């Protein structure tokens, strides 16, 4: 993901929202997340996850576990 675009996202959210968190995945499958502060990031992600769980009926969900994602040594979740 282009760093200039990510910086614009941070600036726009910071201008309008004192507490923000964002998660994105680009076309190549690269994961990106960022937040105004670690505490805010955790709280907003937890809240969003809980709201999503309420909206989805997980009993009817079908998951294809055949595709495995391997993480190489040294790879970590990275935040902007």
Nearest residue to 7 via CA among 80, 69, 58: 80
Bridge partners, 23 (sequence order): 33
Phi, psi (rounded to 5 degrees) for 54: -65, -35
Per-residue pLDDT of the chain (80 residues; tens, 9 = 90+): 788 988 999 999 999 999 999 988 888 888 888 999 999 999 999 998 888 888 877 676 777 777 666 656 555 555 55
Say whether pTM exceeds 0.85: no
- The answer to whether residues 45 and 54 touch, using CB atoms and an 8 Å cutoff, is no
- The answer to whether residues 1 and 10 touch, using CB atoms and an 8 Å cutoff, is no
Both tokens of 45, joined, read 């992600």
């Amino acid at each position: 993901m282009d760093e200039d675009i990510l910086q614009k996202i941070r600036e726009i959210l910071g201008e309008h929202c004192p507490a923000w968190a964002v998660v994105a995945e680009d076309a190549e499958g690269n994961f990106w997340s960022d937040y105004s502060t670690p505490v805010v990031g955790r709280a907003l992600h937890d809240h969003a996850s809980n709201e999503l769980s309420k909206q989805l009926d997980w009993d009817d969900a079908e998951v294809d576990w055949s595709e495995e994602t391997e993480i190489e040594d040294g790879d970590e979740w990275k935040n902007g």
